[in-house]
C-alpha cells in the first residue's frame, strides 16, 4: 500500500490572475468557497499538494494560501508565483494601478 505524503511546505507569494477567483475550503473544485478574490490579490503560499491535477483544461498543483486572515486552496494555474514578497507586491501594483512597463522602442 502506497503511503500518501503530506503537502510540500513552501514559503512563496502569489498574485491572482483573474477576478472572482475562488478561495476554497479544500483542494477540490467542488469544495465550499470561503471567499472570492479580486484580480491582483496578494496571497501567501503556505504549501502545495504533491500531485498535479487537471482542472478546467489546465494542469497544475493546488496551493494552500493565506489571504488576509483566511486560509484555503487555490488552483495554481490562476496565480502568478513569486519567491519574495517584494516581487509579488510589484506585480500587484502593476495590476491594480496599470503601471506595466512599456517595452523599449
Domain ranges of the chain: 8-97
What is the per-residue pLDDT for 87? 94
pLDDT tens digits for range 11-54? 799 999 999 999 999 988 899 999 999 999 999 999 999 999 99
What is the per-residue pLDDT for 104? 53
Q: Is 90 helix (H, G, I), strand (E, B) or coil?
A: helix
Contact 23, 74 (CB under 8 A): yes
- The domain over range 8-97 is classified in CATH as 3.40.50.970: no
Beta-carbon count within 10 A of 91 CB: 19
pLDDT tens digits for range 7-21? 566 779 999 999 999
- Please give the model's pTM, rounded to 2 decimal places: 0.81
For residue 75, give the H/E element and its range.
strand 70-75
Residue 93: all three cell numbers together: 501594483
Predicted confidence (pLDDT) at residue 57 exceeds the cutoff of 90: yes
Amino acid at each position: 500500500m502506497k503511503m500518501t505524503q503530506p503537502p510540500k511546505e513552501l514559503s512563496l507569494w502569489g498574485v491572482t490572475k483573474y477576478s472572482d477567483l475562488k478561495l476554497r475550503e479544500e483542494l477540490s473544485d467542488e469544495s465550499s468557497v470561503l471567499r472570492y478574490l479580486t484580480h491582483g490579490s496578494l496571497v501567501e503560499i503556505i504549501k502545495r499538494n504533491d500531485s498535479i491535477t487537471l482542472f478546467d483544461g489546465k494542469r497544475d498543483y493546488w496551493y494552500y494560501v493565506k489571504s488576509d486572515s483566511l486560509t484555503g486552496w487555490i488552483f495554481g494555474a490562476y496565480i502568478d508565483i513569486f519567491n519574495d514578497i517584494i516581487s509579488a507586491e510589484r506585480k500587484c501594483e502593476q495590476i491594480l494601478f496599470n503601471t506595466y512597463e512599456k517595452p523599449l522602442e
